[in-house]
Amino acid sequence: MKKLRLIPRVVTARPLCCLAVAAALASPIRAAAPAATYPELGPLPVLKVDTAKAELGKHLFFDKRLSGDAAMSCATCHEPQKGWGDDAPLSKAYVGSEYFRNAKTYLNSVHARYFYWDGRLSGRDGPTLVRDSITETHFLNMDGRLMFLRLQQVPEYVEMFEEAFGNEASFGRVLKAVAEFQKTVVSQNVPFDKFKTGDAGAMSPEAKRGLALFSGKAGCIQCHNGPYFSDATQHRLGVPDNPDILDNPLRHITMRSMFKFMGVDNFENIQVDVGFYTVSKLNRHRGAFITPTLREVTRTAPYMHNGMLATLDDVIAFYDQGGGDVPDKDPLLKPLGLTAAEKAELKAFLEALSGDPVIVEPPPEYEYKVISNWTEEPN
């Protein structure tokens, strides 16, 4: 009787990405919660961190070896000195392309229900998020099979992987290490959090009045609620289009390439970012984007998915007028009629959501050395 020969099936990064998208599609699309059920505003939960894995992950986060041409790192678009974003309206991208969305802050991203503006992937699934960033063509464009071989030729990494995992470098261990580091990039000494835990003097009287406006007349809490200050839901706000997406061929090519991969119909003729439609494929979600966090908002300008609002004053004015002038705008958006004093109070509260600067200095860069695990047999 012939023995059956089992041939292993090679799974590439692309199908994994498709599985992640499929998982997102399988999740129910939540409607905005009624006022009585808004998740309470408060401090973020403290996560347990494996220090050895996080230290390794910190080195990897800043290491350009994780990109295909070894010219970019995760920190290229998520710089600690720039609020863990890149302070540009639209983000950088892999060499030969430019990206078409604003780089969201990496701060507190481990608590994000959805990290990307269009609802792809969860910040709470750190390894999958890291895998997408490393392998995605327009981000780091790296082949995991090559990446871990690079790391195996750096003696310092050999030691760190052994300490953190008791084993050698591998693609999967890289993902886990960077995800562990992600847990450490969180807000520190936030006035609002101190106020919520009993320090009545942690916020100014003006900021306290701003909190009342946030939860009342201004209605911000309808979408920015819970400890992460986001309802993790898509909204069509009518933010003006960023003209650079259409005028800059590299950004427009990147956008169409992404939409093609995501299965967006008629992607060849799309002129503007369709947002959450890339995931849901429902027409009512064209131009809708996931609510971002407001934590550390003073450090993350410019604002919105395309960076079209430069300052917090611009953001407050945009919502005060009831959002943009577009059809099928989210019904939650209505003119607010805020006075100049109320706008200042609301801004004071938003400023109280930022704590001490979270600065991580780049670790030293380690050089390659030829390392072999083979030993010659004696004659």
Can you spell out the DSSP letters for 216-234? TTT-GGGTS-TTTT----E
Q: Is the peptide bond before 8 cis (omega within 30 degrees of 0)?
A: no
Q: Residue 362, Cβ neighbours under 10 Å: how many?
A: 14
Encode pLDDT of 65-82 as tens digits: 999 999 999 999 999 999
Q: What is the pLDDT of residue 378?
A: 52
pLDDT-derived band at 375 (thresholds 50, 70, 90) equals low
Annotate 303-325 with DSSP letters as a single string.
BSTT--B-SHHHHHHHHHTTS-S
Please give the helix or strand (H or E) that residue 280 lies within, else none: helix 277-280
Q: What is the pLDDT of residue 18?
A: 40
The whole-chain average pLDDT of the chain stands at 90
From 372, 362, 37, 89, select the one nearest 248 (Cα to Cα). 89
Token output for 84: 């863990």
| Position with higher pLDDT, 121 vs 28 | 121
Please give the helix or strand (H or E) that residue 51 lies within, else none: helix 51-61
Question: Does the reported pTM lie above 0.85?
Answer: yes
Query: Could you give the 3-state DSSP secondary structure of residue 352?
Result: coil
Q: What is the pLDDT of residue 176?
A: 98
Q: What is the pLDDT of residue 2?
A: 39
Enumerate domains of the chain plus CATH numbers.
47-182 (1.10.760.10), 191-238+287-351 (1.10.760.10)
Encode pLDDT of 182-240 as tens digits: 999 999 999 999 999 999 999 999 999 999 999 999 999 999 999 999 999 999 999 99
Using a 10 angstrom Cβ sphere, with 0-12 exposed, 13-18 middle and 19 or more buried, the burial of residue 248 is: middle
Residue 305, pLDDT > 90, answer yes
Residue 23, pLDDT > 90, answer no
| Position with higher pLDDT, 366 vs 14 | 366
Q: Residue 128, Cβ neighbours under 10 Å: how many?
A: 19
Query: Could you give the 3-state DSSP secondary structure of residue 175?
Result: helix
8 A C-beta contact, residue 171 and residue 13? no
As a whole number of angstroms, the distance between CA 277 and CA 299 comes to: 29
Encode pLDDT of 104-150 as tens digits: 999 999 999 999 999 998 889 999 999 999 999 999 999 988 998 99
As a whole number of angstroms, the distance between CA 136 and CA 34 comes to: 37
Q: What is the pLDDT of residue 123?
A: 87
Q: What is the pLDDT of residue 196?
A: 97
As a whole number of angstroms, the distance between CA 21 and CA 104 comes to: 19
Percent of the chain with pLDDT over 90: 85
As a whole number of angstroms, the distance between CA 357 and CA 222 comes to: 28
8 A C-beta contact, residue 151 and residue 175? no
Looking up tokens 């704590």 gives 355
R_g of the chain, CA atoms, integer Å: 23
pLDDT-derived band at 374 (thresholds 50, 70, 90) equals low
Q: What is the pLDDT of residue 379?
A: 52
173's CB contacts (< 8 A; 6+ apart) are 148, 161, 164, 165, 167
Percent of the chain with pLDDT over 70: 89
Q: Residue 370, Cβ neighbours under 10 Å: how many?
A: 5
